[in-house]
Amino acid sequence: MNLLFRHTRPLRLVLPAVALLLAYTSRSGGGPTVAAASEAPALNPAQAEFFEKSVRPVLSNNCYTCHAANTKSAGALRVDDLQALLKGGRSGPAIVPGDPQNSLLLQRLLTDDEKHRMPKGDDPLQKSDIDNLTTWIKAGAYWPASTDSAEPGKNAKPVDDSKAADSKPKVKLVAKFNPDPPKAQLAYFEKNVKPILASHCYACHAADTKPAGRLRLDTTIGIETGGNSGSSVLPGDPDKSLILVRVLQTDKKHRMPKDSDPLTADEIAKITTWIKNGAALPDETEKLPPLSAKLERTYTKLKAEHWAFKPLSNPTVPNVKDTKWPAQNKRGTASGDIDRFLLAGLETKDLAPVPDADPVTLLRRVTYDLTGLPATPEEVKAFRKDHSEKAYEELVDHLLASQQYGERWGRHWLDVARYAESTGPSRNIPYPHAWRYRDYVIDSVNKDVPYDRFLKEQIAGDLLPEGSPADRDRLLIATGFLAIGVKDVNQRFEARFLMDNVDDQIDTVTRSTMALTVSCARCHDHKFDPIPATDYYALAGIFTSTDDAAGVNSLMGGAGLAYYNAKDLLLLSSATTAPSAQEDKVAKLKADIASTKKQLDAIQGTPDGLVLGPDKKPKQLTLGLKMLELRKELLDLTDPGTRGYGIHGAREGDIADTSVRVRGVEERHGPTVPRGFLTAFQVPGANPVNPKQSGRLELADWIASPQNPLTARVAVNHIWQHLFGQGIVSTVDNFGIKGDVPSNPQLLDYLAAEYIREGWSTKRMIRNIVLTHAYRLGSTYPERYKDIDPANYLIWRHSPRRLEAEEVRDSVLASSGRLQLLPPGAPLPQSPAAKLKMIELADNGKELQEINAGADNSNDRSVYLPALRGITPRALAAFDPVSQTLVTGQRDTTIVPTQALFLLNSSFVRVQSQNLAQKLLADSSKADRQIEEAYLRVLDREPSKQEIVRDRQFLAEYAQTYSKLPTDVPAPPVEVKTSVVKKEDDKDKEVVIDPACQVDQTNVVPVDPVITYRSPQEAALAGLVQTLYASAEFQFLR
């Protein structure tokens, strides 16, 4: 099958079938309303037989694919449950018991309009099937009171129409198998049944394939757990076992084995006998080796003794000798108490704090720490004039109330959340809607959402009570925390793909909130921390019961659009009121795609396909590009994300415990582990996992509990690290045995307890810390201190730090007057990546070039730049930007020559230097005033007299030299290399021109723009400004 066409199939599934049904029927006034149905009465034997033989198979074979509990329920309609049918979809009931004529279900099955007829994209139902449904509805649409296929609906969380395709929980039906069947029955399976499965089923349902319907029939656990439709075998009940239902189908389209001869009567009889006698299966569960006696003793000791697992203490604030040194701020006592804990530690070492920082240094420090931006010249002058205690408190409150505070501290959390807008390695597929999660974080930080609530929203927002539609949307967006991790979309085996995603979620949740390396227990019991593999898989069961609605597929090879699954996205509330796609345009586009495909198939891989057309390109390339454009246009009309209401997030999935994967290998299953939490420490009052839900809600409560010994400690340690350069526990992402011990354990527990007492308010905690005397210390380094506490663990001075990558770029833009302080596209913030279709970001391809050019030319804050994995904006690359692949509580900091080279040579810095020079010239014609303003804007201080004299001389000499340079020097040409890349489809062995590798994908040798100065004075001033940018004083915060 042609690769380009094969990947258009997901697009036709984007249009929910029943949404079209309801749009069609609503034009004629819709169907009648139906009162809420009462409990279904008991069926007589004849009714039960008729339903099971003549009604359920019609619904399951033709409708369940799009309208069942284990699907996204197109049009918000389910047909696998009587109550769901009576309630119907977005336009009302699907059936009217006793009235077939007014039942929408039958109207759609009988319509002559192929665009609206169901089943969508398939042949019409046979007359006998229609007659059976009509008879059933006319007789009252009876339904068994309790059936296997209806069980999911019975346990599912009620969902109203506005929540179609989002957070609907569903419980996967798992049959009960005898764990110890008779040996004779096992022998019967091995001799009579297994060979049938191997001959007829393994081709599509085994380990060396991508199991169709996620069903594997080559392992015991595969048969027991089943696939998308639940268990394929119900022990003791052949009539309800899906495996027999499918092999007995008379319709070739639905009969198994697919595209093959039907099973013989003898083979069917053997399978029937096997199921009727209990469906005996061999025990393939691998036994886990028990914990060694040594490791068990170690675990027991660590659980009792490791400091991080002990409950929070309530330390007494110590007395100090120098009672005047601690802060005496008026609003509360927390700042003074923090100072007393620090000073007590210093006094035990016979040390004293160094003198305070000067007012301008303190202003620059607190402004960068809270907003990531420099102070304005006006703020510098005002604080120099009045730097009283009151003025400092008012400054801190002003900074905490600013939009820039949320952007700075939101960026800290985005580091921890490994935020990015693409999947990462193998095929780098964008997350076009991830910006919604980024903006959720910034907004939450600015609103000071309590940290415990902030965590619950991100782990289980879809399960929290909701108010308005806007509240619901916000909670769904918050779950993007779980969805936007690294994904190897080239993983051929879906089970491995899913477990890798689960591992990413476990690692992100546990390290970001509790600083534990739980993922080390995926393959074996943790070697250092008391986390056995069974604890890991207790957590894994919670996330395997969660649907990762990231909107991407996993497959081996294919064009970029094949990785996009629009149906998998969560939807905003506005999706229910959004205008439907224009059906005539959709139909025309599909026809155009089919016509283009036919033309392409005729010449694909033939000499005619390589003949150049009028556009000087091979004809097959031109047709391939045309089909890609048509598919993108179809996406614009049908994709909920493109139309503005798609979300990457999480929702409830198939609810079930999971088994230990021996050595972390997906195909090696050990014992099943009940869903639960870590056993390394106790959280009093924690609720166990709700068996009808995934367990994410209980996990979120367990993590965010005040009784959890880790969560508050980890949170305040992160805050301390961002304000003092290192945490009280220096390994901020590891509180385990291999992490460092706290430098001041009493202070850590005091801060954690105070954090909880203050309602988990991050703003209050930051305010308490920056108002301490310790925060206001200078950076001097007395000689004798280096032998006692060279790393400054005791906080006897304020350690200098280098500006982070975003701070460097934003500061250059702010000082030049070009920084845009409003979010991009306000009041509807977006990211440049949001404009991308879901296609692969090929190295230096057209889309990537556009993104990089947009980032280079953007004046927005760096937090709003594209955050694509493996693709760093050039203005950030030299200063250790976050990797975006793992939880990062503390970034690496290097000081290397390339940073100085960037500041002295990059076009970004040179252009912004020119911009500031032009502003200085426009504001004043006096050199001394220009120098003073340049220092104020770049370094947040006024120059000394010596610096003015020196810089005045520099400007004069530079201008004189520049005036003697030749003019009209032509810019060097841009060298362009082009190539056309061909790929070969692994399955069909057809040569396919991949549209992602077209002539437009050029290797462009970047050439910096030639900067032309309007005068020697402007050139000189730009040179001075760039020198200030390149100075250590600009790059480092004291």
Query: What per-residue confidence (pLDDT) applies to 1024?
Result: 97
Query: What per-residue confidence (pLDDT) applies to 59?
Result: 84
Query: What per-residue confidence (pLDDT) applies to 608?
Result: 83
Query: What per-residue confidence (pLDDT) applies to 324?
Result: 93
pLDDT tens sequence across 482-535:
999 999 988 877 888 899 999 999 999 999 999 999 999 999 999 999 999 999
Pairing of strands 991-993, 982-984: antiparallel
Query: What per-residue confidence (pLDDT) applies to 656?
Result: 92
Pairing of strands 646-647, 649-652: unpaired
The first and second tokens of residue 470, run together, are 């806007």
pTM (predicted TM-score): 0.75
Angle at the Cα of 842 from the Cα atoms of 836 and 846, rounded to 5 degrees: 60
- The rounded percent of the chain whose pLDDT value lies above 70 is 81
Say yes or no to pLDDT of 385 above 80: yes
Query: What per-residue confidence (pLDDT) applies to 1003?
Result: 44
pLDDT tens sequence across 206-229:
877 667 777 888 888 788 777 766
pLDDT tens sequence across 650-692:
999 989 999 999 888 887 888 999 999 999 999 999 999 999 9
Query: Do 854 and 421 touch, CB atoms closer than 8 A?
Result: no
Report the C-alpha gap between 407 and 824 in whole angstroms: 13
Say yes or no to pLDDT of 465 above 70: yes
Say yes or no to pLDDT of 997 above 60: no
Query: What per-residue confidence (pLDDT) applies to 991?
Result: 39
Q: Which of 301-310, 504-513, 613-622, 802-811 has the lowest mean pLDDT?
A: 613-622
* Strand ranges, E, within 17-76: none
Split at pLDDT 50, 70, 90, the class of 635 is low
The amino acid sitting at 955 is L
The first and second tokens of residue 342, run together, are 């620090």
Query: What per-residue confidence (pLDDT) applies to 556?
Result: 61
Query: What per-residue confidence (pLDDT) applies to 973?
Result: 52
Split at pLDDT 50, 70, 90, the class of 419 is very high
Split at pLDDT 50, 70, 90, the class of 955 is very high
Query: What per-residue confidence (pLDDT) applies to 508?
Result: 97
Q: State the average pLDDT over residues 459-467.
A: 94
Query: What per-residue confidence (pLDDT) applies to 330?
Result: 66
Q: Which of 67-81, 194-208, 280-294, 417-431 has the lowest mean pLDDT?
A: 67-81
Give the number of other Cβ atoms within 10 Å of residue 621's Cβ.
23
Contacts of 228 (CB under 8 A, 6+ apart): 70, 71, 213, 214, 215
Query: What per-residue confidence (pLDDT) applies to 96?
Result: 85
- The rounded percent of the chain whose pLDDT value lies above 90 is 47
Report the C-alpha gap between 271 and 195 in whole angstroms: 11
pLDDT tens sequence across 162-173:
333 343 434 444
Contacts of 993 (CB under 8 A, 6+ apart): 618, 620, 621, 624, 980, 982, 983
Split at pLDDT 50, 70, 90, the class of 642 is low
Query: What per-residue confidence (pLDDT) applies to 171?
Result: 41
pLDDT tens sequence across 966-976:
876 555 554 44
Report the C-alpha gap between 669 and 674 in whole angstroms: 14
- 11: exposed, middle or buried (Cβ count in 10 Å: 0-12, 13-18, 19+): buried
Query: What per-residue confidence (pLDDT) applies to 1002?
Result: 40
How does the average pLDDT of the chain come out, rounded?
A: 82
Say yes or no to pLDDT of 756 above 90: yes
Report the C-alpha gap between 313 and 709 in whole angstroms: 10
Q: State the average pLDDT over residues 944-961.
A: 95
CA distances from 438 to 469, 553, 608, 825 (A): 20, 23, 49, 14
Query: What per-residue confidence (pLDDT) applies to 783?
Result: 87
Say yes or no to pLDDT of 139 above 80: yes
Query: What per-residue confidence (pLDDT) applies to 747?
Result: 98
Report the C-alpha gap between 992 and 6 in whole angstroms: 12
Give the number of other Cβ atoms within 10 Å of residue 322's Cβ.
13
Split at pLDDT 50, 70, 90, the class of 800 is very high
Query: What per-residue confidence (pLDDT) applies to 15?
Result: 30
Q: State the average pLDDT over residues 1018-1029.
A: 96
553 half-sphere exposure, CB direction, 13 A CA radius:
21
Say yes or no to pLDDT of 702 above 80: yes
Query: Do 832 and 848 touch, CB atoms closer than 8 A?
Result: no
Split at pLDDT 50, 70, 90, the class of 331 is low
Report the C-alpha gap between 706 and 1035 in whole angstroms: 40
Q: Which of 30-39, 106-115, 139-148 has the lowest mean pLDDT?
A: 30-39
- DSSP-derived 3-state class of residue 539: helix
pLDDT tens sequence across 712-755:
999 999 999 999 999 999 999 999 999 999 999 999 999 999 99
List alpha helices for 248-290, DSSP H: 265-276
Residue ranges per structural domain of the chain: 17-33+43-160, 183-276, 317-401+758-798, 450-573+644-693, 574-640, 805-831+876-1037
Please compute Rg for the chain using Cα positions. 33
Query: What per-residue confidence (pLDDT) applies to 56?
Result: 85
The first and second tokens of residue 672, run together, are 């099943």
Query: What per-residue confidence (pLDDT) applies to 250?
Result: 76
Query: What per-residue confidence (pLDDT) applies to 161?
Result: 32
The first and second tokens of residue 872, run together, are 């760093």
Split at pLDDT 50, 70, 90, the class of 30 is very low
Split at pLDDT 50, 70, 90, the class of 443 is very high
Report the C-alpha gap between 96 and 25 in whole angstroms: 15
Give the number of other Cβ atoms within 10 Å of residue 279's Cβ.
27
pLDDT tens sequence across 835-871:
555 566 666 567 777 788 888 889 999 999 989 898 8
Pairing of strands 991-993, 801-802: unpaired
Q: State the average pLDDT over residues 440-448.
A: 98
Contacts of 419 (CB under 8 A, 6+ apart): 434, 437, 438, 441, 484, 867, 884
Q: How does DSSP assign 846-866, residue by residue?
A: HHHHHHHHHHHH--B-GGGS-
- 212: exposed, middle or buried (Cβ count in 10 Å: 0-12, 13-18, 19+): middle
Query: What per-residue confidence (pLDDT) applies to 1005?
Result: 45
Say yes or no to pLDDT of 365 above 60: yes
List alpha helices for 102-205, DSSP H: 104-110, 127-138, 151-155, 183-188, 194-200
